[in-house]
Structure 1
Amino acid sequence: MIRKHSHVKIGRYHQHLQEQLDLNLSPLEYMMKCYPEIKEKEEMRKIIGRYGLTGKQQVSPIRNLSDGQKCRVYLTWLAWQNPHMLFLDKPTNHLDIETINALADATNGFKGVKMLVSHDFRLIQQVAQEIWVCEKQTITKWPGNILAYKEHLKSKLVDEKPQLTERTHNV
């Protein structure tokens, strides 16, 4: 049994969370609604701007934004939750390289507990302190870094390739 302390704030991001945004509101309206303690629109515009949404993007309905921009709105909201623990499940979907690098910097600067699930080797290389491999209904700590794991995967593919060829001939 796992019990969470009542004061621990957990921030969760997964690839479909931006679908929970109110698409009729602009990012500025959405954030002002979520964080009423920030009274000045210009202060909120600065906050949103730090996440790469500027100018008209801040005042256009969220429905008119690209998927990457919607992700930025959600990441802005998540960051202002100020969580103690952060769970990121495939956060790089819909993000460009510049935004992924900014996410890596922000993740590295985060002082709380963080867990990242990703297929993005670049992001993993930038932020991971430990690698855990989930396969065959088990979770195992990988002894090396992500590049060593990538080489391991390549060697497994090379080893399995002759078996695939044999199977095709036997069909």
Structure 2
Amino acid sequence: MNERNEASSMRPGRPGPTRIRRLTPEEVRERAADGLAALLVDAVDSGASVGFLAPLERERAAAWWSGAAGARDVWAALDPAGRVLGAVTLVRDDKANGRHRGEIARLVVHRDARGQGLGRRLLAAAEAHAAATGLSLLVLDTQTDSPAERLYQGCGWTVAGTIPDYAADPAGTLCATTLYYKRLG
């Protein structure tokens, strides 16, 4: 998929296609205060361990997205009205010896849109872009025993190991984190 192309698929029981789009830094900033912030707040409210404790204030979520603009590649899943249903970011390693790798971070899908393959499509878009732009290795981490692990394993990611008490979940409880990697190409 070309980095600016939009991919569509019909969502069961809902009108119109959901598009996966790579957002420009300007689009990330424009959507930070509304759609992207609401998405991140929803993820934390529904228990996703994505770096924030609950309750996550919308302003803090918007500030995080504004800071991500330009520092990360961002893809969003958009419904026909332009509502953000999901997002994923790709962070490139800027070290001289690590320019071949990147990190998938903040893969989130709004609870109203889960179970429709959006996470898989967002991940595929980021992976395809990474490969097309010369990256040969991706890494990510996720809370051990979370639903996200099924997604990553189903998409061909390999477990590298587990670290106990690595991060707190939204409620503040320390949880294990599983590290994954995927070779591209």
- Structure with bigger gyration radius: 1
The structure in which a higher percent of residues are helix is 1
Q: Which bin holds the TM-score, normalised by the shorter protein?
A: 0.3 to 0.5
The structure in which a higher percent of residues are strand is 2
